[in-house]
Each structure stands twice: as structure tokens, then as C-alpha cells.
Amino acid sequence: MKHYKTITELYTANGFPAPENALLGLVTFDDIRDCSFAETEFTLGFYKIALKKVKSGTVNYGKTKYDHDNGSMFFLKPNQIIQMNDIELTEKGFMIYIHEDFLFSHSLHSAIQKYAFFDYEANEALHLSPNEEETLWDLFHKIRGEYYNNQDEYSRDIILTHIDSILKYSQRYYRRQFINRAPISGTTVSKFNEILKDYFESGKLQKDGLPSVKYMASELSLSARYLSDLLKQETGKTALEHIHISLVMEAKNLLLSTDNTIAETAYRLGFENPPYFSRLFKKEVGLTPKEFRESSLN
């Protein structure tokens, strides 16, 4: 599998026009109309932000297929696998490549890691309305204007400010997307709880320990970050919080229906560390497991 360590290396291999800045690349589909992608499967050593419309072919990143029926934004962090097969692009779209070195000493260096959508899978792309797409194109044109305007000591900060705006707008639009798919997310909550129930009843809790968010997400064919953001928007609680709530409910049942010690209850629930179980229980219930059992018996 080909790994493009630098933006210049990517441009050279695919016949793109040379970048103005080795740490920042801006490409429109018009710029690469006559270019062909050299590799069908590759990784990048830098961030990629793209608005894409694909006439035909498939684009995969992570383990899922990119939905190309609408104009969509997607976001890639370094070293994520990308696959492209028989791609034909429409006339409108852009790609922004950002090397981490371009972010050094700027607030976006740490802030970019907080945008969860860089960990989403391809089928969780951001689908844009025409007005939303226009807003993002406007920001791209501002970046492009600064990029080709004899860069000086102000250029990087101005460019990064506009890139941060693209990320902030994208986060807002994802919230809208979550709200619009509320009926689907409602189904996701139900399926999530069903998977947890089956996990508890099948004995996996004792055999494999606590279910992780990654496990739950894989059972729902979602990425862990997308699942948590979806549940947070719909219910106000993350995937991990939902797991903890279910565990505490199961713990209450065990504390009242068995004579097991607190440590035995913790181990039965998949906790390797009983004190951690007690802290989690108190956080959720307001009482320690011992206090809860005693108060229920009185």
C-alpha cells in the first residue's frame, strides 16, 4: 500500500499542479480534470478535508463506502486508509490537504483533534444542503485567494482561521444531520440497548469483560465517535454513559437479588477493579454499592 508522506509527493505522483506551500495543498476538481489517481489504495501523512461529488466509481476510507449520491464533506486524519476504484469526478468539488507542521504554534493544532468527524467512517459523510455548500465554497475561495496572494507573515493565520471556520460550520451541519435523522437515531438507541441486553444475558460480560464503545459501534456498523455523537445529540448521553447506565441497572439487580460481596458483584459485571466499580456506581446512583444494598434492606 502506497503511503504519501508529504503533500508534494502526492501531487507529483498524481500529476497535480505543484503546491504553492509544501505544507498546505488546495485543489479543485477543475485543477485535476486531466489527472488520474496513481494508486487505488493509499494512506496520507496529513489531514484531508474534501467536498466531493462523484459521477461514478467508489471511494472507501476506513472500512466503509462513501455515499456519492449527494455533495458531501468528509474528513481524513493522517494514516487512514483510502481506496478509490474507477473514479470519475463531477466538475465541482475541492480538497484541502494540511500537514500537521503547518498547524504548529497555532490553536488549531490541538483544536483539530477535538473534531470527532475526523474519526467517522465514509458512510457517515456530511451531506450538505445547497446553502450549506455555498457557505463552505465561500470559505474555500477565501483560503484560495490568500494562498495565491504572495503569502506573508499574516497569511498562515488568516488561512487557518478560515479552515477553522470550515470545521466549525461542518460541526454545526453535522448537528443538523443528526436532528434530521432523529427517527434513525431513535432506532439506534433501541438497537444499542438490545445489543447490551444480549451481551449481558449471553455471559460475554463474565467472559470478555465490559463491552467497549468500539465493540458496540461495530455491532451497529458505525464508527465509535459517530455513535457517541449521535447518541449524545439524541439522548444527551454518550455511548459510554449508556453502557455505564445499563451496567449500574444490572448491578442494582445483583446487589438486591444475591448475597455476593461487592467485589464478587464487580467481577461478575466484568470489572477487573472493584474500587472502580464502586466509584462508577456512586457517581450514577449517589450511593456506594454497600450503602445502596443497606438502604434497600431497611
Residue 54 is predicted with a pLDDT of: 53
Judge contact between 177 and 185, C-beta under 8 A. no
**Continuous H helices in the chain:** 7-14, 108-111, 130-147, 155-180, 182-201, 204-208, 213-219, 224-235, 239-257, 262-268, 274-285, 289-297
Residue 123 is predicted with a pLDDT of: 64
Task: Tell how strand 47-52 and strand 72-76 pair up.
Answer: antiparallel
Alpha-carbon distance of 33 to 13, in angstroms, equals 15
Residue 39 is predicted with a pLDDT of: 55
Residue 222 is predicted with a pLDDT of: 83
- Consecutive H or E run containing 248: helix 239-257
Residue 67 is predicted with a pLDDT of: 44
Q: What is the DSSP string of 207-246?
A: HH-SPPHHHHHHHTTS-HHHHHHHHHHHHSS-HHHHHHHH
pTM of the predicted protein model? 0.65
Residue 24 is predicted with a pLDDT of: 96
Q: Is 7 exposed, middle or buried, given 0-12, 13-18 or 19+ CB atoms closer than 10 A? A: buried
CATH 1.10.10.60 fits 183-297, yes or no: yes
Residue keyed to cell 456512586: 282
Contact partners, residue 149, CB within 8 Å, separation at least 6: 155
Residue 84 is predicted with a pLDDT of: 62
Judge contact between 253 and 269, C-beta under 8 A. no
Please give the backbone phi and psi of residue 84, each rounded to the nearest 5 degrees, phi first.
-135, 130
Residue keyed to cell 458531501: 72
Q: Which one, of 42, 63, 67, 41, lies nearest residue 54 by Cα? A: 67
The angle at the Cα of 68, spanning 127 to 3, to the nearest 5 degrees, equals: 105
Judge contact between 38 and 1, C-beta under 8 A. no
Which residues are bridge partners to 51 per DSSP? 73, 94
Domain(s) of CATH 2.60.120: residues in the chain = 2-180
Which residues are bridge partners to 49 per DSSP? 75, 96
Render the burial of 117-146: b for 16+ CB within 10 Å, e for the rest: bbbbbbbbbbbbeeebbebbbebbebbbeb
Residues 5-32: tens digit of each pLDDT = 999 999 998 888 888 899 999 988 877 7
Q: Name the CATH topology of 2-180.
A: Jelly Rolls (2.60.120)
What is each CA distance from 244 to 166, 195, 223, 247, in whole angstroms?
34, 14, 19, 5
Alpha-carbon distance of 51 to 244, in angstroms, equals 37
User: Nine-digit cell at 64?
Assistant: 466503509
Alpha-carbon distance of 25 to 41, in angstroms, equals 20
Residue keyed to cell 475526523: 118
Residues of the chain with pLDDT below 50 are 55-69, 185
Residue 246 is predicted with a pLDDT of: 84
User: Nine-digit cell at 116?
Assistant: 470527532
Which 3 state secondary structure label does DSSP give 135?
helix
Domain(s) of CATH 1.10.10.60: residues in the chain = 183-297
Residue 60 is predicted with a pLDDT of: 47
